Amino acid sequence: MMDLSLATIVIIAANVIITYKALGDYSFFERYKFNVGSIRRGEQIRMFSSGFLHVNTMHLVFNMFTLFFFADVVIDALGTLNFIIVYIISLILGNLLSLYFHKDEYYYSAVGASGAVTGILYAAILIRPDMSLYMFFVPVPIPAYLFGIGYLLYSIYGMKKQIGNIGHDAHFGGAIGGYVVTLLLLPQLIETNLLMVLLLAVPIIILFVMHKTGKL
């Protein structure tokens, strides 16, 4: 049985309480969701508050389920305070990347903890690239580092093709947050597992190159 840390419990509880408040109060949802036009008019709180709103119960459960599985890996390696720092910075960077790519789309809106959760996921993979992940639709375990690289490459594809009603850019920004903050907090990873550090940086470099060359 996996033990939930107090920090994980508090984050999950905050997401559940705020999401259900918003689902029952349309004006609350509209006031605190990520919206480019509102943020550019000065409502910066949306950069943070939107990370605790979800469009429905399934969206909420999926994010919290993912957080549940990877939080302890990050907490064990970095400590509770640094885990919270990774979570918050990933949330903000996810929304900053969304704002950057959609800065001229004043109508663009989004909600969800996906950026923050992806940051924790990518931090966990960086810390424990040897983990095996089991996906619902794949009957064999997948090495964590392959999953991380594949996930971000798919996010780039999703951003380019605008696939689904999914904030691929927020996922990617969150992953960058998890990657960078974890390396700042555990720089010894560069010495002990340089190959994995470089491999997990590949999608980030690809995104940067595609953007600079106008292919994104």
- 47 vs 99: CA distance, rounded Å: 9
Confidence band, pLDDT 50/70/90 cuts, at residue 14: very high
- Per-residue pLDDT at 78 exceeds 50: yes
Tell me how far apart the alpha carbons of residues 17 and 8 are, in angstroms, rounded to a whole number: 14
What pLDDT, in 10s, does the model give residues 119-176?
999 999 999 998 988 765 667 788 888 988 988 898 888 888 777 667 788 989 999 9
Taking 80 as the threshold, does the pLDDT of residue 216 lie above it? no
Number of domains in the chain: 1
In a domain, 106, yes or no: yes
Domain presence at residue 46: yes
pLDDT value at 62 more than 60: yes
Residue 16 domain flag = yes
Say which CATH number the domain at 45 has: 1.20.1540.10
The whole-chain average pLDDT of the chain stands at 91
Model pTM score? 0.92
pLDDT in the model for residue 160: 82
Examine residue 77 and state whether it is found in any structural domain, yes or no: yes
- Residue range(s) defining the domain that contains residue 53: 6-212
What is the pairing mode between strands 109-110 and 132-133? Answer: unpaired
In a domain, 1, yes or no: no
SS3 state at 180: helix
